[in-house]
Amino acid sequence: MPAGDPEKLRAVLSYGADAVYLAGKSYGLRSACANFTEEELASAVSYAHSLGRRVYVTVNTMPRDREYAHLADYIRYLSKIGADAVIVGDIGVLSLVRDVAPELDIHLSTQASAVSSYACRAWHALGARRIVLARELTLREISEIRKNTPPELELEVFIHGAMCIAYSGRCLLSNCLTGRDANRGECAQPCRWNYTVKSIEVTEEKRPGGRIPIEEDDEGTYVMSSRDLCMIEHIPELIDAGIDSFKIEGRVKSAYYGAVTANAYRIAIDRYVSDPQGYTFDPALLRELESVSHREYCTGFFYGSPANTANTVSYTGYLRDKAYLAVAISHDETSGRAVFRQKNRVCEGDAAEIVSPGKTGRGLIIYDLKNSDGEPIESAPHPGMLFSVNAPFPIAPGDMLRGI
């Protein structure tokens, strides 16, 4: 699971992640999130290891020569604090890791666009222990790669989250339009912008018969904005393909997004593994994923060629069915009251749900709302304020309250 900051790390680990991937303040491809200082990296590794989980640090930008001296020191530091692996996308960085920290496991980033067993074996020979395959592969192609690579070489695949029009994230559009290099963590996401066109189709000069229609409605056109990937309904096929690790995109998303997404996939995976023959998909898990902020969902390239499955959005914004209201701090079994820290406005009488690790949403009505002094209030309007409500069932610290 992604962890864009310490809060998100704690959330996804609480809700079922076996491992997190995150970045320090440099060399990661998500500069828009807070990321981790060196002290926070050490704390993150220590905390994850105390739970028996792993931490993978992204070092997947394409550094210039002038950056390598500092990068070498950074890699030594990651090894010193016990990071479980570094995720690299550049062959020079891979070589540097082998030179200065040979004990550190190397995972090859999807940025390297590994699409064949030949490429995977070559990267493995160079020192990669795990390959994060390109997102443009079909499930059949992934199965073939698994059959033709050494069993000790792990394969990881993105199964949920945002996709882009570039090949495995290699895009120059942001750099061209804004001067912000997507390959160095500064993507401005111009593929998501609202464009207008003066004609209804695009035609290449020497191919007059190959017209490309540009659909536009009152809100504009979105020919470059991809739908989000969602494979929650296809866990059996993914596991049976021989994939070792499922990866979810979203380091700039909220802690609520990470928790709910981790929870849904954790439940589905565990149910299938415990009883493959009796497994049936639970539609409640898809409803969980529809509760978080997302674009329209699709299955990406898993079931067809890129030409047939490059799904673009038809709606300009994000979709979300439910609002994240608060996180539980404590629960008094004697009084039945639960204390929460507010994230968004909560009102007396609101219909809501509790999301707990290993469970889908459980309904309740906000009843007998009180502030931290025990005084009755009509609403909890202030971010971060503590409030309590009567709870019809036990609630654990870290459980999330959401509106419906």
Work out whether the CA dihedral 339, 344, 346, 352 comes out positive or negative: negative
pLDDT score, position 193: 80
Span 205-214, pLDDT tens digits: 666 666 656 6
Tokens standing for 42? 């050490």
Residue 194 confidence (pLDDT): 75
Q: What is the CB neighbour count within 10 angstroms for residue 230?
A: 22
- What pTM does this model have? 0.85
| Distance in angstroms (rounded) separating the CA atoms of residues 150 and 34 | 37
Under DSSP, the state recorded for 360 is -
Q: How far apart are the C-alpha atoms of 194 and 87, rounded to whole Å? A: 33
Query: d(Cα 142, Cα 322) in Å, to the nearest integer?
Result: 35
Give me the pLDDT at residue 5, please: 93
DSSP annotation of 271: H
Helical spans, DSSP H, in 249-367:
255-274, 283-290, 306-309
Task: State the CB neighbour count (10 A cutoff) for residue 395.
Answer: 25
Give SS3 for 61. coil
Q: Which residues contact 298 (CB under 8 A, 6 or more apart)?
A: 227, 228, 229, 230, 309, 311
Helices (H), 205-254: 235-240
Amino acid identity of residue 130, one-letter, is: R
Say what the pLDDT of residue 309 is: 44
Torsion angle defined by CA atoms of residues 227, 233, 235 and 241, in that order, rounded to the nearest 10 degrees? -70
Q: How many CA atoms lie within 13 A of 94 on its CB side?
A: 20
Predicted pLDDT at 181: 78
pLDDT of residue 76: 97
Indicate if the alpha-carbon torsion angle 300, 226, 316, 202 is positive or negative.
negative
Query: What CATH number was assigned to the domain covering residues 323-403?
Result: 2.40.30.10
CA distance 32 to 95: 28
- The structure tokens listed for 105 are 């496991």
**Which tokens hold the place of 324?**
């994240």
Instruction: Please name every residue paired with 159 in a beta bridge, in sequence order, or none if there are none.
Output: none
Neighbours of 50 (CB within 10 A): 9
Domain ranges, ordered by start, for the chain: 6-163+226-309, 173-213, 323-403
Token pair belonging to 310: 């490059």
For the chain, residues with pLDDT lower than 70 are 28-33, 167, 172, 184, 195-223, 305-310, 312-321
Angle, vertex CA 28, rays to CA 83 and CA 245, nearest 5 = 55
Length of the chain: 404
Q: Are 257 and 292 in contact (CB under 8 A)?
A: yes
How far lies 137's CA from each of 121, 132, 154, 270, 311, in Å? 17, 11, 16, 25, 15
Q: What pLDDT score does 25 carry? A: 84
CATH class of 6-163+226-309: alpha beta
Instruction: In whole angstroms, give the CA distance from residue 170 to residue 157.
Output: 17
